[in-house]
Homo-oligomer: A and B are copies of this chain.
Amino acid sequence: MQQRSGQQRPDQQRPDQQRPDLQRLEQPPAPRGARVSRRGLIGGGAAAAGLAGAFVAGHASAQSPSGTSAGTSSYAFRGAHQAGIVTPAQDRLHFAAFDVTTGSRAQLVALLRAWTDAAERMTRGLPAGGGAVEGAPDLPPDDTGEAIGLPASGLTITFGFGPGLFRDAHGRDRFGIADRRPAALAQLPHFPGDVLDEARSYGDLCVQACADDPQVAVHAIRNLARIGFGTVAVRWSQLGFGRTSTTSTSQSTPRNLFGFKDGTHNVKAEQASAVDEHVWVAAGDDPAAEWLAGGSYLVARRFDMAIEVWDRQTLGDQEDSIGRTKGTGAPLSGGGEFTRPDFTMAGSHGPVIPEDAHVSVVHPDHNGGARMLRRGYNFVDGTDALGGLNAGLFFLAYVRDPRTQFIPIQAKMAKADALMEYLQVTGSALFAVPPGAGAGEHVGQALFT
Chain A residues with a Cβ under 8 A of chain B: 25, 28-29, 31-36, 38, 40-44, 54-60, 62-63, 92, 94, 96, 133, 136-141, 143-149, 199, 213-215, 218, 222, 225-226, 229, 233-239, 241-242, 252, 255-260, 307-308, 311-320, 325-328, 330, 332-337, 345, 347-352, 354, 356, 378, 380-383, 385, 387-389, 391
Contacts and interface: CB of A to CB of B under 8 A. Distances in A.
Given A233-B387, A235-B387, 4 more contacts: A55-B333, A145-B258, A149-B252, A226-B311
B255 A335 contact: no
Contacts of A238: 382
Given A146-B257, A214-B242, A55 B314 contact: no
A144 B96 CA distance: 30
Interface residue SS majority, chain A: loop
A252 B150 CA distance: 11
Q: Give this chain's copy count.
A: 2
A327 B41 contact: yes
Contacts of A133: 315
8 contacts: A31-B314, A56-B330, A56-B334, A139-B315, A199-B385, A214-B241, A218-B242, A234-B388
Given A40-B316, A314-B139, A316-B35, A380 B94 contact: yes
B237 A389 contact: yes
Contact of A332 (B38, B60, B144): B38
Contact of A146 (B62, B318, B378): B378
B40 A315 contact: yes
A387 B104 CA distance: 21
A382 B237 contact: yes
A247 B383 CA distance: 28
Nearest to A44: B327
A365 to B, nearest CB: 19
Contacts of A350: 33-34
A42 B327 contact: yes
Nearest to A28: B314
A63 B349 CA distance: 29
Contacts of A237: 380, 382-383, 389
A29 B172 CA distance: 54
Contact of A318 (B141, B233, B252, B259): B141
A308 B227 CA distance: 11
A348 to B, nearest CB: 6
Contacts of A56: 325, 330, 332, 334-335
Contacts of A378: 146, 215, 218
Given A307-B222, A312-B25, A327 B259 contact: no
B62 A328 contact: yes
Contact of A316 (B38, B55, B149, B241): B38
Nearest to A354: B33
B348 A34 contact: yes
A239 B334 CA distance: 38
A206 to B, nearest CB: 13
Contacts of A229: 308, 312
A314 B385 CA distance: 39
B314 A137 contact: yes
